[in-house]
Amino acid sequence: MQAQIMRRIGLGILVLGWVMWVSLAPLHAAPYAAMVMDARNGEVIHARNHDTKLHPASLTKMMTLYVAFEAVKHGEVGLDTKFRVSRRATKTECVCLGLREGQTISLRYLIRAAALRSANDAAVVIAEGISGSVEAFAERMTRTARAMGMSNSTFKNPHGLTQAGHVSTARDMTILGRQLFFDYPQYFNIFSRRSDFAGVANVPNTNRRFLDAYQGANGIKTGYTRAAGFNLTASAQRGSKHIITTMFGGSSTAARNAKVAELMDMGFSRAKSRVAVRPPATPAYQGRGALVAAKPQNGDDDPNAGAKTIRLVTAVRTSPRPLARPVPPVPDDVLVAVVEGVDLSVSQTVEELSLTALAPAELDVSPPPRPEAVAETVDLSIAEAAGFGLVDPADLDALEEADAAALDLAEAQGSLAVPMDITSLDDPSEDMAAAAPETVEPAPLAETSEPVSTEIASVVAEAAALGQDIPQEPMELAQNEGPPAEILWTGAPESFLPSAAPSTFEANVDLDVTVAPPIIEDSGIILTRSDATDEEVHTAIVAETFHAETPQIISRVSTSDDARLWGISLGAFNSRHDAERSLITVKMAEAQALSSGISRIRQTSGRFEASFAGLTEGEADRACARLSARGMDCSVARP
């Protein structure tokens, strides 16, 4: 009995020893392979057993994630697309995320779980959600690897568990890590996160120890199985240098990390400081719509096998203009009715627009105000103080007709004076009588009117009050040089009116009553001056104002000025509407700074450049500085 017990104990020890040997054998049997590459240009710095086909373990998930990123890029799925968890995914050998059958989860969480936690069930859900099955997804992984140049890699599953025929090399995994960095930089930062939320829980990064221990490390993926050993593809950047290293067959996590750090140091020490970056070419898309050749079920040598089916998807090269739809013919009676209707409408329109319809009585035209109405609003005190008064337009017409008849009679008798040039005379007032023809008789002088006498009396009183001598010339002027009778000025400018005779008293007081006082423009008022009696008109002066106010000078900025050769440019726009809107916005925002500028729109190369020209250097700099402070695009255009 005791011997039997001892025999069983010995057998148990033997079995336990065998189990331990079997479990530890792969750790020592996994072959070593390594590759060090300059990620900037793909130059190989160090390689050992780099083309030996080995088990990649969870490094496989780098290709799983690459295909997932490719599917998102081409619109097959989205990051928020929810995938359903199948029974096969839940039965996958863990490490797992802990998904349940029938559960739905977004693709972004599955990507985090596969990249950080290296969850096998998440990788299976990704494969089934994109390609429908694990096998179809594995074939797509292999096609993508061939298009990428990974000629020694074949994939049978998306997670990397040991399976016959599922192999890769250190070179191929280094190439894959470089493709991930250049093709999908927006996702590459996932590999450097120490942990992240994966929809179910926060998951840690299996590579966090190397990320924390090695300076400049930024990824990317670890892997382990008994058949493969401890694998790692790592990426690190220091300054301008970027190194990617892959190692297969480590004996432990610590030994693997130490060896990879040693390989990284070798790469940084041997890599050149200045290297032109040459990104790898993106592989051809291997997803939906790609060129697929379906193999016959029974093989090519089977006479009963069906023909090959090749699906070709090509883009449309030409788009011919579609033919116009046939238009049914219009019946003749309809055409005749249309012509008659048009003729009737045209005739009615002509009648409505006839001269009778457009008579002045039918037009909404306001007549000019009557002189009486305007006289109420015009201050005539100045004109009345000078002896002027209102005259009836009918009397003015009669006066013009009589004056014209008198001029015709004088011309017929040959008694008109011939105009002469008096610019050469030293004193026109002395030589005028001698130069005039003998046939001309001086016109009788008009008697001094009462308003003029009143003015002379006021002037004499003012001179006496100031202690000055009483001048005699104003009296003689008032008695001998009054304006000739029956002389009329109508509608003439002030420059055509006769000027007053020169006088030494002119500096003190103006007694030239022949000049019409200022009249408000378009007032319709006729001013005259006459004696107290209405029967005999000695002098009549008619004036129409044509200079109502001081002339306005309108000027604009000229860019020909040497000081205004600067401008500001607001940039180029796709349409003239956008350029005009920009000019209006800037003009409203900086009306004071751009008040002297000229807005311009110039079309060049299909775009419209908006600018302001005609500014000084200071105005351009100040306006551009204010616009830049408001967040608007602006640049100074210098001559």
Residue range 249-278: mean pLDDT, rounded: 95
**Contact partners, residue 63, CB within 8 Å, separation at least 6:** 141, 144, 145, 153, 155, 176
> In Å, how far from its chain's centre is CA 612?
16
What's the pLDDT at 616? 86
The answer to whether residue 199 scores a pLDDT higher than 80 is: yes
The answer to whether residue 491 scores a pLDDT higher than 50 is: no
* Per-residue pLDDT reduced to its tens digit, 76-102: 999 999 999 999 999 998 878 889 999
> For residues 306 and 295, what is the distance between their CA atoms, to the nearest angstrom?
9
Residue 127 pLDDT grade (very low, low, confident, very high; cuts 50, 70, 90): very high
Q: Look up the CATH number of domain 24-270.
A: 3.40.710.10
Number of H helices, E strands in the chain: 19, 17
What's the pLDDT at 380? 61
pTM of the model: 0.46
Ranked by mean pLDDT, the top range of 456-465, 517-526, 535-544 is: 456-465
Angle at which helices 170-183 and 134-148 pack, to 10 degrees? 90
DSSP for 448-484 reads: PPHHHHHHHHHHHHHHHHTTPPPPSHHHHHHHH-PPP
The answer to whether residue 205 scores a pLDDT higher than 90 is: yes
Ranked by mean pLDDT, the top range of 1-10, 12-21, 576-585 is: 576-585
* Per-residue pLDDT reduced to its tens digit, 220-241: 999 999 999 999 999 999 999 9
What's the pLDDT at 65? 97
C-beta of residue 174 within 8 angstroms of C-beta of residue 245: yes
Lowest-pLDDT range, 214-218, 317-321, 420-424? 420-424
Residue range 199-223: mean pLDDT, rounded: 94
The candidate with the shortest Cα–Cα distance to 60, out of 187, 165, 209, is 165
Residue 432 CA neighbour count, 13 Å, CB half:
10
Q: What are the residue boundaries of the structural domains of the chain, listed by start?
A: 24-270, 371-413+446-547, 566-637
What's the pLDDT at 508? 43
Cα end-to-end distance, the chain, whole Å:
115
> For residues 287 and 137, what is the distance between their CA atoms, to the nearest angstrom?
10
What's the pLDDT at 468? 53
- Which residue did the predictor score with more confidence, 347 or 85? 85
* Per-residue pLDDT reduced to its tens digit, 41-78: 999 999 999 999 999 999 999 999 999 999 999 999 99
Q: What angle do CA 119, 20, 228 make, to 5 degrees?
A: 40
Residue 158 pLDDT grade (very low, low, confident, very high; cuts 50, 70, 90): very high
The answer to whether residue 356 scores a pLDDT higher than 70 is: no
**Contact partners, residue 41, CB within 8 Å, separation at least 6:** 275, 276, 277, 278
Mean pLDDT of the chain: 74
The answer to whether residue 422 scores a pLDDT higher than 50 is: no
Residue range 254-267: mean pLDDT, rounded: 96
> For residues 281 and 277, what is the distance between their CA atoms, to the nearest angstrom?
13
Residue range 273-301: mean pLDDT, rounded: 69
| Homologous superfamily (CATH) for 566-637 | Sporulation related repeat (3.30.70.1070)
Task: For residue 135, count other CB atoms closer than 10 A to its CB.
Answer: 12
Residue range 422-451: mean pLDDT, rounded: 44
What's the pLDDT at 394? 66
The answer to whether residue 384 scores a pLDDT higher than 70 is: no
> In Å, how far from its chain's centre is CA 230?
56
What's the pLDDT at 424? 41
What's the pLDDT at 27? 43
Whether a cis peptide bond, with omega within 30° of 0, leads into 220 is: yes
**Three-state SS at 355:** coil
Lowest-pLDDT range, 46-55, 170-179, 449-458? 449-458
Lowest-pLDDT range, 152-161, 178-187, 254-263, 286-295? 286-295
Residue 406 pLDDT grade (very low, low, confident, very high; cuts 50, 70, 90): low
Residue 222 CA neighbour count, 13 Å, CB half:
25
What's the pLDDT at 289? 55
Helix (H) or strand (E) holding 20: helix 2-29
Lowest-pLDDT range, 131-145, 534-548, 603-617? 534-548
C-beta of residue 231 within 8 angstroms of C-beta of residue 56: yes
Residue 540 pLDDT grade (very low, low, confident, very high; cuts 50, 70, 90): very low
Lowest-pLDDT range, 215-219, 375-379, 445-449? 445-449
Ranked by mean pLDDT, the top range of 40-49, 93-102, 359-368, 567-576 is: 40-49
Residue range 460-464: mean pLDDT, rounded: 57
123 secondary structure, DSSP code: H
The answer to whether residue 639 scores a pLDDT higher than 70 is: yes
What's the pLDDT at 329? 79
3-state per-residue secondary structure call for 271-309: CCCCCCCCCCCCCCCCCCCCCEEECCCCCCCCCCCCCCE
What's the pLDDT at 36? 97
Residue range 293-306: mean pLDDT, rounded: 41
The candidate with the shortest Cα–Cα distance to 177, out of 260, 295, 92, is 260
What's the pLDDT at 323? 81
Residue range 372-386: mean pLDDT, rounded: 56
Residue 18 pLDDT grade (very low, low, confident, very high; cuts 50, 70, 90): low
* Per-residue pLDDT reduced to its tens digit, 576-606: 888 898 888 888 878 777 877 888 888 888 8
- Which residue did the predictor score with more confidence, 364 or 188? 188
